[in-house]
Structure 1
Amino acid sequence: MPRRRGMSARLKLTLSYAGIVVVSGVLLLAAVALYLLRYIPDVQIIADIRVPNRSDLIRAFVPVAIAVMVALLAIGLGGGWLLAGRMLAPLERISDAARLAAQGSLSHRVRLEGPRDEFRDLADVFDGMLEQLEAHVAEQQRFAANASHELRTPLAISQTLLEVARDDPDRDAEELIARLREVNTRAIALTEALLLLSRAEQRTFPRQLVDLSLLAEEAVEALLPLADRRGVAVEVGGAAAPMLGSSALLPQLVTNLVLNAIVHNLPSGGAVAVRTHMMPQAVALVVENTGERLSEHRIATLVEPFQRGSERTRDDHAGAGLGLAIVQRITETHGGTLVLTPRAEGGLVVTVWFPLPYPR
């Protein structure tokens, strides 16, 4: 059952202003009555001319006092209504912007003018929130469109392969199975990456003490066969780097960084260096790899979903362009900072900073 709407804030403020004005007038008139009339006797004064006594003054004072109170009440109500309207005008603009936002229009802004006060601060905070919401919604829409496209591609390829096999009964079945397996593997990897990215954005996971140096050694050991096949030398080292975080997400972060460094490297003779550092206020994981020269503009797009460091290939480890996007989300959920720096000789240096579990 909907609740009945009460008095508006403007009416409440108007009644409050009018009440203050009337009470002030009553107190003033009471002060006059108590401290002025008390010194006038209530007896008939005999003199050459008529001298009014207390009763005469009270009879003359009461109608004037009533007229004054009515005037004060009218002034309090009228002035309070106008003053409350001016005071609440910024809130009405914010309410209109919130109403439009609730209807799906996030581009509207309050843009309150005038000197800085509580209403101006509230409007600026609301505008900032709308900007963040608009950017987040745009990112989600772009991500959903890209994800739909990426997921539709392997399905379309599978359908094409099956149609070709149906029209060509003599086609090699082993080749068809191998191609379907490759396409299916890519679709599964993309789906798992999307699920991991969604999990990282939820920011709800148990935290425990994790050593980044151990995770780096495990990731390098697991990916060493891939590095050997590609002719990439991998070096790992550094100090112990303990931090509080997810024992499921952080290994994925380290693995993604090492995998990207191996895959996006020189065709031959490449190198990858993985190091961990312990600082007074933070721990750092640094992954450096050789490779092609990258511009600052290109580096700025690498953390966006479905952006790849190189052109799409038919490599089993070409990826779906979610590696660094997942790293970025996991880093943010742990209160860390991801920094990408191009190497002068070509390649990339990725540094991930995390706060210490117990600051020194």
Structure 2
Amino acid sequence: MGRRPGLSARMKLTLSYAGFLLLAGGLLLAVVWVFLLRYVPDGVFVSGPGTQRRGVPSPPMFPSRSDLLEAFAPRAAQAMVFLVVFGLLGGWFLAGRMLAPLTRIADAARLAAEGSLSHRIGMEGPSDEFRELADVFDTMLEQLESHVTEQQRFTANASHELRTPLAISQTLLEVARSDPGRDHGELLDRLRIVNTRAIDLTEALLLLSRGDRRSFVSEPVDLSLIAEEAAETLLPLAERRRITLTVTGEATHVTGSAELMLRMVTNLVQNAIVHNFPADGTVTVHTRSLDGAGLLEVENTGHRLPAELVPTLTEPFQRGTQRVRTDEHAGVGLGLAIVHSIVRAHDGTLDLAPRPDGGLLATVRLPRGHAEASQHAVPSPDRSG
């Protein structure tokens, strides 16, 4: 359905300015008539009596209402014509000056629609409504450009990561076809490992996308129970690595998806176990409420982390060189990225801080649930391994 052609905003403002001037002129003429001309008597009249005598000047005559109207009407019509012309020309100029910022914003929006997100309006001048709109638009373009760049980088990395197990599987199948006498049991084991990694990566990507879309139902969740469940699941892994896993704290009620929060805590605890000392390390999970928010703290021992490495830990597929594992828990580089996505989807914050003695302290702050308002904190039992 096509759009009907209409007047531009500049033409509408121009007509508005001209109409206002015409109305103001008409009001002035009405004031002259109401308060002046209508009180002037009609007809010829003089100020003195009688007849004019020889040698005696005649008395002065005063203009009547008809005389005044006859002299005033053409000048009033000329003034009204001037006001209309002046209103149209001046209104067109003023409307152009007023709408110039909107034209710049429209040009920037047109460039953004064509795919150029690097352009900025950069409007100068006083802080008026147009300046505020331009600044908001620049901020939106900056965030949009950052998001698109991040998505492009993520797509490229995901494609690379998914291509690797598929290429390995293809190579193994070609080797098996060219060497029929090869042990099929070993081949099947390697294919199973490669396919498991591909499946884990695909599930991680789907989970990451789900967190970004916020496609979940919020419900009251107790972080302390989530922490205990995650610790119980990962306790065998901690025991194999001779890591002491401890869960402490109080009942901490927040609002969100219990399933996603369980994955969030599981990823944090597993990351703390895997990236630890080879033996005799510790992992501590603590929950508490503070300043209207629920806090989850996961702290582990380990080697010291460079300060410049910490900000990259939540980026997809960015495995710090000092944190790469070569065993079965090498991961796909999405553990903390998923955590960050889930926390952000729940309007929370994730803070990663290296410990002075080595290891990492991960602090998750989430909005508290309404159910905790009238409840007292109840300590949760410790769980060690």
Shorter-chain TM-score category?
A: over 0.9
Equivalences for residues 246-261 of structure 1 within 5 A: 246-261=257-272
Task: List runs of 5+ in structure 1 lacking aligned partners.
Answer: none
Residue 140 of structure 1, CA deviation: 0.4
Between the aligned partners of 2:165 and 2:323, the Cα distance in structure 1 is 17
Say whether residues 1:216 and 2:227 are aligned partners: yes
Residue 232 of structure 1, CA deviation: 1.3
Matched AA of 1:189: D
Q: In terms of Rg, which structure is larger?
A: 2
Residue 313 of structure 1, CA deviation: 4.3
Say whether residues 1:352 and 2:354 are aligned partners: no
The answer for the alignment partner of 1:60 in structure 2 is: 71
Task: Please state whether the residue corresponding to 2:356 is helix, strand or coil.
Answer: coil
Residue 282 of structure 1, CA deviation: 1.1
The answer for the alignment partner of 2:129 in structure 1 is: 118
Between the aligned partners of 2:141 and 2:257, the Cα distance in structure 1 is 31
CA deviation map 1:181-207 (0-9, x unaligned):
111000000000000001111113111
Say whether residues 1:76 and 2:108 are aligned partners: no
Matched AA of 2:230: A
The answer for the alignment partner of 2:55 in structure 1 is: none
Say whether residues 1:3 and 2:3 are aligned partners: yes
The answer for the alignment partner of 1:187 in structure 2 is: 198
Residue 333 of structure 1, CA deviation: 1.1
Alignment TM-score, normalising by the size of structure 1: 0.97
Residue 79 of structure 1, CA deviation: 0.6
The answer for the alignment partner of 1:285 in structure 2 is: 296
Task: Please state whether the residue corresponding to 1:351 is helix, strand or coil.
Answer: strand
The answer for the alignment partner of 2:379 in structure 1 is: none
Matched AA of 1:30: A
Say whether residues 1:42 and 2:42 are aligned partners: yes
Task: List runs of 5+ in structure 2 lacking aligned partners.
Answer: 48-57, 374-385
The answer for the alignment partner of 1:108 in structure 2 is: 119
Between the aligned partners of 1:231 and 1:70, the Cα distance in structure 2 is 96
Equivalences for residues 1-360 of structure 1 within 5 A: 1-46=1-46, 48=58, 49-309=60-320, 310=322, 312-358=324-370
Q: RMSD of the TM alignment (CA)? A: 1.3
CA deviation map 1:21-49 (0-9, x unaligned):
01001111111122121232101114634
Residue 265 of structure 1, CA deviation: 1.0
Matched AA of 2:254: M
| Contact 2:307/2:354, CA 8 A, preserved across alignment | yes
**Total equivalences in the alignment:** 360
Task: Please state whether the residue corresponding to 1:5 is helix, strand or coil.
Answer: coil
Between the aligned partners of 2:293 and 2:325, the Cα distance in structure 1 is 38
Identity %: 62
Residue 244 of structure 1, CA deviation: 1.0
Residue 281 of structure 1, CA deviation: 1.1
Residue 144 of structure 1, CA deviation: 0.2
* Inter-CA distance 257–313: structure 2 relative to 1 (3 Å threshold): closer
Choose between structure 1 and 2 for higher RCO, CA contacts under 8 A separated by at least 6 residues.
2
Between the aligned partners of 1:84 and 1:174, the Cα distance in structure 2 is 81
